[in-house]
C-alpha cells in the first residue's frame, strides 16, 4: 500500500515538473518556480530526474519477480516525455523557410533519432539559451537510446551469457521438461534453491512462460535435455565432480520424464557431488509411488520424490473439505482423481493417528463401478504396506439427486466431490444440489478452472480443476513425511522461541531442509547397513543394535555436514544466531547423551516411515561382492538411438552416442560412453577386451533397477551389477558365470 502511494505521488509530481518545463518555454513562472525559466539552472532538471526515478522504481520494485516488460514500459514513457518537451521547445522557434507543422515535426523526429538541433537558440534570436525543456528531453532521449541498445544487446547475447554463467556455477538447481502448466512451480522452486543457480533447459526458449521464468531469476539454456551431451558440460566440474544439487523433471508425459531422468544420470555418470534432490512429475499415482521406491536404494546419491497433478488437486480439495468440518465425503465419478482423493484421505487418516487428531470422515464412492474402485484402492494401499486407511463404502449407482441423498443420509455436514472427468450434466447437478441444500459443501470439477476457485459459484458450490499449483512450494511425499515428523516432535517438545521448533510453515528453509535431510538419510543409511525397503509388511522389523549404531553414526555425519555447509561451527553451547552447536564433533567425541539423542532420532524416523508404509528389512541380497570382467566383445558407436530386447524380453533403448556391444553369441546391449571408456580396452578394429571390476548381488524377483537405458524388472535367479561409475543393470546367472570372475575387491 505504501509503495503504491509513493508511486502515485511521485508520478503526479513528475508530471507537474514536466508540465512546468514545457510551460516555462513561454511563460515566466513566479518565485522559486522561476528556476524552470533559467536555461542555466540545474535544480529543475535534478528534481525531474529524481521524481521520475522514484516513480518508476516504486512501480517496478513490487513487480520485479513477475512477467513485466520493464524496459518497454520505460522506453514508451521516455519517448512520450521527449515528444511532449521536444514539441514545446521547438514550437518556440519555427524555421521560417518551412511550414510551422513540418518544421516542428521534422525537428522532433530528428531529436528522437539523436539529432539535437539547438543552433537557433544559441544566437539569442529564439531566447536567452536552450530551454530546460529541450535539455531535459535530451537527457531522457539519450537514456532511451542506451536502454534500447542495452536491451537489443542483452537479447542477442543472453543465451551465451546464461550458458557461461551456468558452466561457472558451483551448484545448480536444474529444471527440464517444463511447459505452460508446470511453469507455476518455477517461482516456489526458485525460492527454495538456496545458493544454487536456477537453470531451465528447454527447446522452447521463445515461450511466454520462459519470459516469466527469466523475470523470476532463472537462467535459460536452449536445447534438448534428452541429449546427455548437452547437459554434461553444464553439470560436470573438473574430472570427477558435478554441480547438480536440485532437479525438477516436469513434462506431462511420464515416459518423457523417465527419458529426461536417464539423460541427467548419463550426464553425471562417473561424477560425485552432493546428493541430488529431485522432483519428478509422474501423473499416474501408482507409477508415482513406484518411482519414489525405486530410488530408495540410492538415497545417498538421489533424494527422489514425485509430483502428480491428481495428487496435488486431491490434496487441495480434501484439505479444504476438512477445514470446513465435514463429517462425510461423497466422491462422485470414476477417474484418476477419484483414486487420488481416496489415497489422500487415507494419508490424512494415518497422519491424524500419528498426531492424535481425529481421523478423516467416512467416505462413500458413488459410481456404477464403485465396488471396483474401492477394491483397486485397497489393493494399491496393501501393495505399499498400508491398510485402506479410510472407512469407505460403495454406492454402485448412477449419480443423481436421489442417489446422492441416500449417500449423505445421516450426515449433518456432508461434502460432495465430483471427481470424475468434467461433465456438464454433473456440473448442473452440483448447482441444483447447492441451491437446494445450501449447507452442503460441493466441489464441481470444470475444465476451464485450474485449482480451487477462490469464491463459491453459489451457496457452498466450489469450482475446481486439475492443477500442479498447491499455492506455494511443491510438497512431495518425502517432505510430507518430514513435516509430519517435525509436527509430532514440536507437539512433544513445544518451544516456539527456538527457531527450529516453529510450525512447519514458519520454519526457515534451512530447518525444513534439515528435516527432509533426516528422512532421506534414514532411507539411505538403512540400505548402507544391509537393509532394504519393501512394498509389503512381510519380514520387517527394526534394525539390530549393531545396525542402529551404524545408522546413528552415519546420521550424525550427515547432520554435521549439513550444518557445516551452512556456516555452523562447534561451540560450547547452542547459539542459533551465531550458528554454534556443541555436538558438531566427530561421533567418537560425543558424550553418551548426545549419541542417545541421535539414536532416538533414527528410531523415530524408522517408526514414522513404517507407519506410513515404508518398512525396512534385513536383505541378504544387499551383500555386494566383487567380480572382475573378462572376455572379448565387439563394439561400435551409434549416432542414432535404437532399441533392443533383454534375455527376459524387456525393451531398452540406447541413446545417440552410446556404444552397441556384442558378445560372441551375438547378444547386444548399449553402454554409455563414459562407462564404455572405463571398462573396455581397444584391441583392433571393432574388438575390445572387457576390463575392470564390478559389484554384484543377487536380485530380488520383482525389484525394479533403473538402468541408464531404462527400468528393468528382475527375475528369478538374476543378478544386479553395479559398475565403477555407479550405474546398475541386471544380468542372468549364465551371463555372470561366462563374463565375470569372482575375486578380491
Alpha-carbon torsion 232, 235, 236, 242, what sign? negative
pLDDT tens digit string along 377-413?
888 777 666 665 678 899 999 999 999 999 999 999 9
Neighbours of 248 (CB within 10 A): 23
3-state helix, strand, coil in the chain (%, to 5): 45, 20, 35
Angle ∠(675,676,677) on CA atoms, nearest 5:
95
Residues of the chain with pLDDT below 50 are 67, 536-539
Classified as helix, coil or strand, 502 is coil
Predicted pLDDT at 63: 73
List 668's β-bridge partners, or say none: 662
| Cβ–Cβ under 8 Å, residues 443 and 423 | no
Domains of the chain, first to last: 2-151 (no CATH), 169-281 (3.40.50.720), 317-465 (3.40.50), 477-619 (1.10.490), 623-742 (no CATH)
Predicted pLDDT at 536: 47
Closest to 713 measured CA to CA, from 725, 703, 723, 721: 703
Predicted pLDDT at 699: 84
What is d(CA 198, CA 190) in angstroms, rounded to the nearest whole number? Answer: 6
Which of the 8 DSSP states describes residue 78?
Answer: H
Helices (H) and strands (E) in the chain, counts: 22, 33
| Cβ–Cβ under 8 Å, residues 678 and 725 | yes
Predicted pLDDT at 537: 44
Neighbours of 205 (CB within 10 A): 17
Task: Name 718's Cβ contacts closer than 8 Å, sequence gap at least 6.
Answer: 648, 699, 701, 730, 731, 732, 733
Beta pairing, strands 441-445 & 414-418: parallel
Burial of residue 695 (CB within 10 Å: 0-12, 13-18, 19+) is middle
Question: Exposure string (b/e) for 350-374, b if CB count within 10 Å is 16 or more?
Answer: bbeebeeeeebbbbbbbbeebeebb
The pTM of this model reads: 0.68
For 678-693, the DSSP string reads HHEEEEETTEEEE-SE
What is d(CA 83, CA 334) in angstroms, rounded to the nearest whole number? Answer: 63
pLDDT tens digit string along 168-184?
999 999 999 999 888 98
Classified as helix, coil or strand, 236 is strand
Predicted pLDDT at 386: 66
Predicted pLDDT at 289: 72
Amino acid at each position: 500500500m505504501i509503495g503504491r502511494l509513493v508511486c502515485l505521488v511521485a508520478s503526479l509530481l513528475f508530471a507537474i515538473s514536466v508540465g512546468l518545463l514545457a510551460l516555462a518555454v513561454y511563460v515566466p513562472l513566479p518565485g522559486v518556480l522561476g528556476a524552470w525559466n533559467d536555461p542555466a539552472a540545474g535544480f529543475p532538471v535534478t528534481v525531474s530526474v529524481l521524481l521520475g526515478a522514484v516513480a518508476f522504481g516504486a512501480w517496478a520494485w513490487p513487480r520485479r519477480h513477475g512477467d513485466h516488460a520493464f524496459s518497454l514500459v520505460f522506453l514508451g514513457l521516455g519517448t512520450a516525455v521527449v515528444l511532449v518537451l521536444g514539441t514545446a521547445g521547438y514550437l518556440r522557434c519555427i524555421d521560417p523557410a518551412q511550414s510551422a507543422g513540418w518544421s516542428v515535426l521534422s525537428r522532433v523526429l530528428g531529436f528522437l533519432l539523436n539529432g539535437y538541433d539547438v543552433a537557433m537558440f544559441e544566437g539569442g534570436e529564439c531566447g536567452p539559451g536552450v530551454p530546460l525543456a529541450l535539455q531535459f528531453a535530451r537527457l531522457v532521449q539519450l537514456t532511451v537510446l542506451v536502454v534500447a541498445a542495452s536491451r537489443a544487446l542483452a537479447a542477442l547475447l543472453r543465451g551465451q551469457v546464461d550458458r557461461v554463467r551456468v558452466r561457472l556455477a558451483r551448484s545448480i538447481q536444474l529444471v527440464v521438461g517444463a511447459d505452460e502448466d508446470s511453469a507455476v512451480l518455477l517461482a516456489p522452486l526458485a525460492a527454495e534453491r538456496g545458493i544454487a543457480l536456477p537453470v531451465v533447459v528447454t527447446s522452447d526458449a521463445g515461450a511466454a512462460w520462459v519470459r516469466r521464468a527469466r523475470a523470476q531469476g532463472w537462467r535459460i539454456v536452449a536445447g534438448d535435455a534428452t541429449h546427455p551431451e548437452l547437459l554434461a558440460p553444464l553439470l560436470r566440474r573438473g574430472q570427477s565432480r558435478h554441480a547438480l544439487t536440485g532437479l525438477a523433471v516436469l513434462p506431462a508425459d511420464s515416459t518423457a520424464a523417465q527419458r529426461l531422468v536417464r539423460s541427467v544420470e548419463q550426464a553425471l555418470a562417473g561424477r560425485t557431488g552432493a546428493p541430488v534432490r529431485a522432483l519428478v512429475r509422474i501423473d499416474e499415482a501408482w507409477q508415482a509411488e513406484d518411482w519414489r521406491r525405486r530410488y530408495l536404494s540410492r538415497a545417498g546419491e538421489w533424494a527422489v520424490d514425485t509430483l502428480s497433478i491428481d495428487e496435488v488437486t486431491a490434496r487441495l480439495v480434501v484439505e479444504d473439505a476438512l477445514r470446513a468440518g465435514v463429517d462425510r465425503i461423497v466422491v462422485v465419478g470414476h477417474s484418476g482423481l477419484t483414486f487420488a482423493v481416496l489415497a489422500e484421505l487415507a494419508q490424512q487418516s494415518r497422519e491424524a493417528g500419528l498426531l492424535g487428531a481425529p481421523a478423516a470422515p467416512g467416505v462413500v464412492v458413488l459410481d456404477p463401478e464403485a465396488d471396483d474402485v474401492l477394491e483397486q484402492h485397497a489393493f494399491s494401499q496393501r501393495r505399499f504396506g498400508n491398510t485402506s486407511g479410510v472407512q469407505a463404502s460403495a454406492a454402485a449407482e448412477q449419480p443423481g439427486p436421489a442417489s446422492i441423498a441416500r449417500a449423505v443420509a445421516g450426515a449433518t455436514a456432508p461434502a460432495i466431490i465430483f471427481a470424475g472427468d468434467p461433465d456438464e450434466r454433473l456440473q448442473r447437478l452440483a448447482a441444483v444440489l447447492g441451491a437446494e441444500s445450501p449447507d452442503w459443501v460441493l466441489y464441481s470439477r470444470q475444465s476451464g478452472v485450474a485449482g480451487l476457485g477462490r469464491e463459491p459459484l453459489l451457496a457452498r458450490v466450489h469450482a475446481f480443476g486439475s492443477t500442479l499449483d498447491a499455492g506455494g512450494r511443491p510438497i512431495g511425499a518425502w517432505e510430507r513425511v518430514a513435516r509430519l515428523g517435525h509436527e509430532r516432535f514440536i507437539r512433544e517438545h513445544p518451544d516456539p522461541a527456538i527457531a527450529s521448533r516453529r510450525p512447519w510453515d514458519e520454519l526457515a528453509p534451512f530447518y525444513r531442509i534439515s528435516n527432509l535431510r533426516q528422512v532421506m538419510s534414514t532411507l539411505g543409511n538403512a540400505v548402507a547397513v544391509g537393509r532394504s525397503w519393501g512394498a509389503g509388511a512381510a519380514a520387517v522389523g527394526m534394525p539390530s543394535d549393531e545396525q542402529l549404531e551404524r545408522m546413528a553414526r552415519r546420521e550424525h555425519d550427515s547432520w554435521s555436514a549439513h550444518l557445516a555447509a551452512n556456516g555452523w561451527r562447534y561451540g560450547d553451547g547452542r547459539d542459533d544466531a551465531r550458528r554454534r552447536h556443541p555436538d558438531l564433533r566427530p561421533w567418537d567425541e560425543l558424550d553418551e547423551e548426545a549419541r542417545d539423542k541421535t539414536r532416538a532420532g533414527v528410531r523415530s524416523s524408522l517408526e514414522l516411515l513404517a507407519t506410513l508404509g515404508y518398512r525396512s528389512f534385513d536383505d541378504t541380497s544387499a551383500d555386494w561382492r566383487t567380480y572382475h570382467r573378462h572376455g572379448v566383445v565387439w563394439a561400435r558407436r551409434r549416432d542414432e538411438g535404437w532399441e533392443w530386447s533383454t534375455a527376459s524380453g524387456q525393451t531398452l533403448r540406447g541413446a545417440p552416442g552410446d556404444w552397441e556391444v556384442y558378445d560372441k553369441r551375438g547378444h547386444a546391449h548399449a553402454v554409455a560412453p563414459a562407462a564404455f571408456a572405463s571398462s573396455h580396452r581397444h584391441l583392433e578394429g571393432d574388438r575390445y577386451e572387457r576390463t575392470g571390476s564390478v559389484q554384484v548381488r543377487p536380485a530380488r524377483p520383482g525389484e525394479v533397477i533403473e538402468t541408464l537405458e531404462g527400468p528393468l524388472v528382475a527375475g528369478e535367479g538374476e543378478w544386479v551389477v553395479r559398475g565403477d561409475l555407479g550405474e546398475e543393470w541386471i544380468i542372468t546367472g549364465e551371463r555372470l558365470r561366462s563374463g565375470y570372475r569372482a575375486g578380491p575387491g
